Amino acid sequence: MFTSLRTEEAERDGGYGATAKRMGELVQEIPGFLGEDSAQTPGGLSVTVAYFRDLAGIEQWRDHAAHREAKERGRAHWYERYSLHIAKVEHSSGFERSNAAD
Binding residues (CB under 8 A) for a copy of itself: these are: 1, 3, 7, 37-42, 45-49, 75, 79-97, 100, 102
Minimum distance from residue 48 beta carbon to a copy of itself (Å): 7
Of 8, 2, 73, whose CA–CA distance to 42 is shortest? 8
Q: Which residues contact residue 44 at a Cβ distance below 8 angstroms, ignoring those fewer than 6 apart?
A: 5, 6, 7, 10, 11, 80
* Residues 1, 80 contacting (CB under 8 angstroms): no
Nearer to a copy of itself, 28 or 38 (CB): 38
Minimum distance from residue 74 beta carbon to a copy of itself (Å): 8
* Residues 78, 40 contacting (CB under 8 angstroms): no
3-class DSSP assignment, residue 63:
helix
Nearer to a copy of itself, 28 or 40 (CB): 40
Minimum distance from residue 25 beta carbon to a copy of itself (Å): 19
Nearer to a copy of itself, 14 or 99 (CB): 99
Minimum distance from residue 17 beta carbon to a copy of itself (Å): 14
